[in-house]
Amino acid sequence: MRILYFLLLPLVAFADPQTNAEIFGVFTLLPPLVAIVLAFITKDVILSLFIGVFTGSFMLALVDNNIYHAIIGGFTGLISKAVSSMANPSNAGIILQVLTIGGVVALITKTGGTKAVAIWLAKKAKQAKSSQFATWCMGCFVFFDDYANSLIVGPIMRPVTDKFKVSREKLAFIMDATAAPITGLAIISTWIGLEISLIRSGYDLIDPAIFAHLNIKHDEINAFEIFVQTLPYRFYNLFMLVFVLLTIYMGREFGPMLKAERRAREGLFSQGHEKIDNLEDKLLEPKEHIKLKASNAIIPLLILIVFSFIGFYFSGYNAIDDVVLKAQIDANPLGLFALRETFGKADASVVLFQAALLASIVAIMMGVARKIFTLKEAIVTWTHGWRTMIMTVVILLCAWSLSAVIKDLGTSRYLVDLFSDKTPIYLLPTAIFIFASIISFSTGTSYGTMGILMPLTIPLAAAVGVHHELNDMNLHHYIIINISGVLTGAIFGDHCSPISDTTILSSMGSKCDLLAHVSTQMPYALSVCVISILCGYLPVAFGFNVWLSLIFGVLVMATLLFAIGKKVDAC
């Protein structure tokens, strides 16, 4: 009874993360660990993140309360973290940006714009190669959302690839390889809000003493600029997009895909198929009487892109206080220096929200003017697009809350103290990439993986870099590499996972059996993964030039296809 009595006594109150890290020790890892384990077991990332946040807030409440009050404090703490996250102006801008881009996607789908572009591309296909290339181009055109990619490209391109006897497995692979990989790279997409916010949250967790080595003030960190700097290091995304092109151009396949393609040339498109009817969003289907015009998609998207760039420029320019710097920009306003400085200072979430709102207005005006829908129908369609992004918003709130709890518990500081002097500097990016891949494969989600790992990766990478005495430029570069490891590892695991939403949607959209899609895609994804490590993350961690790494990786992929791949038509 005495032991129970002491357990229920309030503990000494400590609010400092460093002190909490010392109090809880290894238990500071409990919230992210709970989120990871539950994600493996339940396959539900929202539930897993929610319980992970509650675990952390319960631990924080337990510091100065007994166990009964800590349960209540854990729940109220969770709510407080979520409300604080949403009340943050930058986070609010990200939420509005994500929802509004969802509205734009819905409008251009309803007007038939994306369908018109797909049909135009389909008409250009004259043979198996060109039909596959048209599918790849269509996948890249629908860069703004991976779900839209899977649901739009398949139904439009499937009759074309069938006509030229391309297997449903290859169609599903091309769709899947241009869904998450291209959306993850796009600077305007339904993903970028999540990616930027997680990067910003990760930098908030860097120890101030370590932060000083970056030779930059905390309030000068621009998450959008860091996101852009990670693009050359997204080895899996970039290599996979090129790998698809190489298989098309060379006409070579290997493994189960070779068998599927040769079977298709004989008129058997797939081992089986799934119905897509239950996945297509009937509300966003264009009305039968309307004339499909590519301009219905191209004009709103151009508005979104052009005004985003204009917004980045002026938002960043107005944020610059340095008179000398402004004078340099004014001397050559369109030079690379001016663009780099202004874009780096821009508030990306606000700018993208403004551009998406303007694109929405243009899409609505075009739809009404062309008698595609009434104003009331346009508003319904736009708000329906918002509803499709609610899942993303919920994950964002859970991820922000988990990041806040991890910060208060001192989890990152515990990891820094534990691993900063033990981790080989050249192995960390690869280890993070592999770990992200495993979590994403097991859970079937890229978003959840990013939300769990990013708050741990950035402070750990900073500490490892400082321990190995990197200068400020090399340290910043090293953190960038590790961030890309999280972002690309999450996509690779999701790409391979049979429970991933995009994997399932790609198989449904191509009417290809799910297991047939997974079994034919897996050898390709694993091959690109290995090349991403051996030609990407390991060399750049040793200081190898990233552009040479990309070129070398492409040459290795071409050599691989030439060495073990076989001509599909050479039976």
Q: Give the C-alpha separation, 106 to 58, whole Å.
A: 40
Helix 472-496 / helix 501-509 crossing angle, nearest 10 deg: 50
Q: Give the C-alpha separation, 91 to 504, whole Å.
A: 31
pTM assigned to the model: 0.70
- Cite the beta strand spans of 244-307 per DSSP E: 252-253
Q: What is the 3-state secondary structure (H, E, C) of 531-561?
A: HHHHHHHHHHHCCCCHHHHHHHHHHHHHHHH
* Residue 252 backbone phi and psi in degrees, to 5: -115, 140
Q: Give the C-alpha separation, 143 to 181, whole Å.
A: 9
Please give the full DSSP string across 502-515, using - where no structure is assigned. HHHHHHHHTT--HH
* Residue 335 falls in which region: left (phi positive, over 0), alpha (psi -120 to 50) or beta: beta
CA 288 to chain CA centroid, Å, is 34
Nearest-5° angle of CA 114, CA 116, CA 122?
Answer: 105
Q: Give the C-alpha separation, 462 to 291, whole Å.
A: 55
pLDDT (tens digit, 0 to 9) for every residue of the chain, 571 residues total? 333 333 333 333 345 666 766 777 778 878 877 877 787 677 676 788 888 888 888 888 877 777 777 788 888 888 888 888 788 777 787 788 778 878 888 888 888 887 787 777 667 777 878 888 888 987 887 776 676 666 667 767 777 788 788 888 899 899 888 888 888 888 767 677 778 888 888 888 887 777 777 666 666 677 888 888 999 999 999 999 999 999 999 988 898 988 888 888 876 655 544 333 444 456 667 777 778 788 888 888 888 878 877 887 888 788 887 788 788 888 888 876 777 677 667 776 788 788 889 989 999 999 898 888 889 988 988 988 888 778 778 877 877 787 778 778 877 667 666 665 667 888 889 989 988 888 777 666 787 788 878 888 888 888 888 877 777 678 888 999 999 999 999 899 888 877 676 777 777 777 787 778 888 998 999 999 999 999 999 999 988 899 999 999 999 999 999 999 888 875 4
User: How far from 43 is each of 37, 391, 433, 442, 448, CA to CA, in Å?
Assistant: 10, 15, 20, 8, 10
* Residue 436 falls in which region: left (phi positive, over 0), alpha (psi -120 to 50) or beta: alpha
Instruction: Single out the residue of 269, 228, 242 nearest to residue 177, CA to CA.
Output: 242
Q: Give the C-alpha separation, 427 to 539, whole Å.
A: 10
- On whether the CB atoms of residues 518 and 524 are closer than 8 A, the answer is no
* Residue 567 backbone phi and psi in degrees, to 5: -60, 130
Q: What is the pLDDT of residue 540?
A: 93
Contact residues for 433 (Cβ-Cβ < 8 A; gap 6+): 236, 485, 486, 488, 489, 492, 532, 533, 537
Instruction: Single out the residue of 360, 347, 296, 299 nearest to residue 319, CA to CA.
Output: 347
Q: How many helices (H) and strands (E) does the chain have?
A: 30, 2
